């Protein structure tokens, strides 16, 4: 390995260290209570070093959330490539979304609850990972309409209905674990099935 490649690898390793430390502190102490100095102290570097990689704390939060969205996107795209039936894709994607949120609850809340409080929107700008995640859902809904499985409904409205359903049950299960929920899988399946059935032609 040459000097240039080694330096690039070291730079990326440090960048990942910064992101990991920021994620941990944002979750543990709250985004608003974390300073760049606190992140720097955690990885035993100077704040100046962090500014060589990220312009400010908001930029750090954005990259942390982008990593979460990329993991979610990879999960959804893999499902989409493996299943031909759009309804089954929609059902399994909905379940995968909820399971992702429950497996990584703090990352999920950073991305979908904390980030919108400090940054405008959810990163759905054209070409972003956030837009690609939503488009996975939108394209599947569109295919259900094209095949006349769903009624001739508005694609964007219907996609947002589906997202509202899975996002809602995800956050409720994360935030209220002591509520006397019915069996978790039963609840998740019922939310997704009821939403899909209500859209069928």
66: domain range?
Answer: 57-197
Residue 182 has pLDDT above 80, yes or no: yes
Instruction: Report the percent of the chain where pLDDT is more than 70.
Output: 95
- Using CA atoms, how far apart are residues 43 and 88, in angstroms rounded to an integer? 45
105 band by pLDDT with thresholds 50, 70 and 90: very high
CATH code of the domain in which 32 resides = 1.10.10.60
187's tokens: 């609840």
pLDDT at res. 181: 97
Residue 121 has pLDDT above 60, yes or no: no
Residue 126 has pLDDT above 80, yes or no: no
CATH code of the domain in which 82 resides = 1.10.357.10
Residue 114 has pLDDT above 60, yes or no: yes
Q: Kindly give, in sequence order, each residue whose CB lies less than 8 Å from that of residue 196, ignoring residues fewer than 6 positions away.
A: 87, 90, 91, 162
38's tokens: 């606190």
Query: 17, 38, 54: which is the final residue of a domain?
Result: 54
The number of residues making up the chain comes to 201
């Amino acid at each position: 390995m040459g000097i240039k490649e080694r330096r690039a690898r070291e730079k990326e390793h440090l960048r990942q260290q910064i992101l990991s430390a920021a994620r941990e502190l944002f979750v543990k102490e709250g985004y608003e209570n974390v300073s760049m100095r606190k992140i720097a102290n955690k990885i035993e570097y100077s704040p100046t070093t962090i500014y060589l990689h990220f312009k400010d704390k908001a930029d750090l939060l954005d990259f942390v959330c982008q990593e979460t969205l990329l993991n979610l996107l990879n999960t959804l795209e893999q499902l989409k490539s493996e299943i031909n039936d759009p309804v089954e894709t929609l059902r399994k994607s909905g379940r995968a979304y909820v399971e992702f949120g429950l497996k990584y609850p703090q990352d999920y809340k950073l991305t979908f609850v904390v980030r919108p409080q400090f940054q405008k929107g959810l990163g759905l700008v054209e070409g972003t990972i956030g837009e690609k995640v939503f488009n996975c859902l939108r394209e599947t809904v569109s295919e259900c309409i094209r095949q006349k499985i769903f009624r001739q409904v508005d694609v964007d409205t219907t996609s947002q209905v589906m997202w509202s359903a899975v996002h809602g049950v995800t956050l409720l299960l994360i935030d209220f674990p002591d509520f006397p929920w019915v069996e978790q899988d039963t609840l998740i399946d019922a939310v997704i099935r009821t939403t899909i059935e209500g859209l069928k032609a």
